[in-house]
Amino acid sequence: MRSDLMKKGANRAPQRSLLRALGLTENEMKRPFVAVVCSASDYIPGHKHLQGIADAVKDGIRSAGGVPFEFQTIGVCDGLAMNHKGMKYSLCSRELIADSIEVMLTAHPLDAAVFIPNCDKIVPGMLMAACRMNLPSVFVSGGPMLPGEYKGVRMGLSEMFEAVGSYAAGKIDENELNAIEKSACPGCGSCSGMYTANSMNCLTEAIGLALPGNGSIPAVFAGRIRLAKEAGEQVMELYSKDIKPSDILTPKAFENALRSEMALGCSTNTVLHLTAIAHEIGVPLDINLIDRISRETPQICKLSPASKVFLTDLDKVGGIPAVMKELSRNGLINLDIPTVRGTVRERLENAPDADGDIIRKVENPFSKDGGIAVLKGNIAPEGSVVKQGAVAPEMMRHKGPARCFDSEEDATAAIQSRKIKEGDVVVIRYEGPKGGPGMREMLTPTASLTGMGMGSSVALITDGRFSGATRGAAIGHVSPEAAAGGIIALIRDGDMIDIDIPERKLELLVGDGELAKRRAEWKAPHKELKGYLKRYAELVTSGSRGAVFKD
């Protein structure tokens, strides 16, 4: 046992003395020690209830013969951090979470681990740590929030942000804004649509590190507690067989996750996170592979914010196993590879068939290609991403004049003061991993455009990111970023930008000679940084590489 490093032999009597101070019995000293890594928090709705999940996991571990030890990680709620300085720390927190878990599980060597995340950067941060530590591991999330409802129409957080735009446009008054505010988020859980948190929880299931139901069983259902107990029991089975993340996270497993991502229409942030997780485990995965899989995989689900279908609806018709089973009918899923319990083939045998509505048949998809598209061109030679499954048909091709802003705040102010016109292409730069720093999400400007009625007439491109709650022609992760001298830094107001999502093109219609002249005059704006943001900006790489740290 790995835990013997701190509990076996005469020389470890001092360590055993400290363990006995915790109340451990002689019998427990001989059992496997299992980490329960939890991100419970009093002020994140997706994490408010995670202590109950952790208690159920520990019950499962004990019933299967292990000794659980819980510790907690930090976590940022992207919704609370949105549109102010706090969002600069969201993506940054992913690396801190991975590093802190490495610290804890190296300083206190345990034998296996159950990870309990639920929201945006916490899920990939824990996945990266699981890869790095390579202990027998199972993930169990806190589950999605139930959708809210206002005037008989179900809704989620994305509609709440859009309501702010409607208020700015004078479409609703303050009383109605307040009523929507009280209706959008009815209780605990990760926000109800296929935003980043639910995307990553679904993909953790698809890649094989979580049990069926991890991505879709609602937070408030008893099934979530049962799943947590099963996760605690199953990690002991993995320990007994010495099955580790490196045995599960193979190239074929990542391909399954990417196929599921495209079929579900997940958040564009999953491109960043899957790339970073693959880097951590040593699996080759780049934006070109993601683009190829996108072109080959039909989108068979259209969930909020692209529709009024929520995670709870997906759960009722079979969840992720049913989606993967339908993809497998077209030979798009690798079946004979391991998961934390059995093979993918065994997992899908008892899954229900696609219902034809929430999960469409592959012969009748919402789109013949995936929910995420990778665009390239002179603005983004290393790539950019768009959630094409949430783009209005009339915006799949768009040509318009640039309106340039060097921060999210400036762009939001211009949008909400109605200075953006139909047909414009809003450009938000110096918000990339290095330039932000922190690669902020841009839900406020995109939701404002939608709420003001311009979601089907105005495009937005940025070297920052978009929330999974974003819909519309919102193109993010433009690489190279402005701070690294990318072409996005050279765009000027009035320049024509050509967007062609079906052809995967993002072009600035300015000649090379003029761009060379602008480059000679260009200088990146100076930002006075300190603390963790300063270190992050010095270490982080391009968004096209998953915004991982330099090796």
Residue 233 tokens read as: 């029991």
DSSP 42-64: TT-TTTTTHHHHHHHHHHHHHHT
pLDDT of residue 472: 87
Closest by CA position to 290, among listed 397, 376, 393, 204: 376
Rg (CA), the chain: 23
- Please report the pLDDT score of residue 467 as a whole number: 84
Judge contact between 434 and 483, C-beta under 8 A. yes
SS3 398: strand
Q: pLDDT value at position 267?
A: 93
Question: Using CA atoms, how far apart are residues 515 and 504, in angstroms rounded to an integer?
Answer: 22
Q: What is the largest CA-CA distance in the chain?
A: 77
**Single-letter amino acid, residue 263:** A
Round to whole Å and give the CA distance between 448 and 465: 16
Q: Residue written as tokens 């990542």?
A: 254
3-state secondary structure 510-535: CCHHHHHHHHHHCCCCCCCCCHHHHH
Task: Look at residues 186, 141, 187, 472 and name the one whose alpha carbon lies nearest to residue 319.
Answer: 141
Neighbours of 364 (CB within 10 A): 10
For residue 17, count CB atoms less than 10 angstroms from its CB and return exposed for 0-12, middle for 13-18, buried for 19 or more: exposed
456 classed as catalytic = no
- From 90, 183, 294, 467, the catalytic residue: 467
Say how far apart CA 227 and CA 246 lie, in whole Å: 23
Give the residue from 275, 264, 339, 269 showing the smallest Cα distance to 297: 264
What are the pLDDT tens digits along the chain (551 aa)?
A: 999 999 999 999 999 999 999 999 999 999 999 999 999 999 899 999 999 999 999 999 999 999 999 999 999 999 999 889 999 999 999 999 999 999 999 999 999 999 999 998 999 999 999 999 999 999 999 999 999 999 999 999 999 989 988 998 899 999 999 999 999 999 999 999 999 999 999 999 999 999 999 999 999 999 999 999 999 999 999 999 999 999 999 999 999 999 999 999 999 999 999 999 999 999 999 999 999 999 999 999 999 999 999 999 999 999 999 999 999 999 999 999 999 999 999 999 999 999 999 999 999 999 999 999 999 999 999 999 999 999 999 999 999 999 999 999 999 999 999 999 999 999 999 999 999 999 999 888 988 998 889 989 999 999 999 887 788 899 999 999 999 999 999 999 999 999 999 999 999 999 999 999 999 999 989 999 999 999 999 999 999 999 999 98
Q: What is the pLDDT of residue 551?
A: 83
Q: Which residues on adjacent β-strands are paired with residue 210?
A: 139
Q: What is the DSSP string of 251-317?
A: HHHHHHHHHHHHHHT--THHHHHHHHHHHHHT----HHHHHHHHHHS-B----TTSSS--HHHHHHT
* Type of residue numbered 79: G
Cα–Cα distance measured from residue 286 to residue 363, given in angstroms and rounded to the nearest whole number? 29
pLDDT at residue 274, rounded to an integer: 97
Task: Please report the pLDDT score of residue 169 as a whole number.
Answer: 87
**Does residue 279 contact residue 546 with C-beta atoms inside 8 Å?**
yes
Helix (H) or strand (E) holding 476: strand 474-479
Q: Contact, 209 vs 274, CB < 8 A?
A: no
Cis amide linkage into residue 305, ω under 30° from 0: yes
Sheet holding 373-375, edge to edge: 373-375, 383-386, 474-479, 459-462, 425-428, 397-405, 496-500, 505-508
DSSP 3-state assignment of 442?
coil
Tell me the three state secondary structure of residue 5. Answer: helix
**CA angle, 16 as apex, 13 and 22 as ends, to 5°?**
150
The answer to whether 202 touches 266, Cβ cutoff 8 Å, is yes
Q: Does residue 65 sit in helix, strand or coil?
A: coil
Residue 451: its pLDDT value, please? 87
Q: Which residues contact 388 (CB under 8 A, 6 or more apart)?
A: 367, 369, 370, 371, 372, 373, 396, 501
| 66 Cβ contact list (under 8 Å, min separation 6) | 31, 32, 33, 34, 111, 112, 232, 235, 236, 239
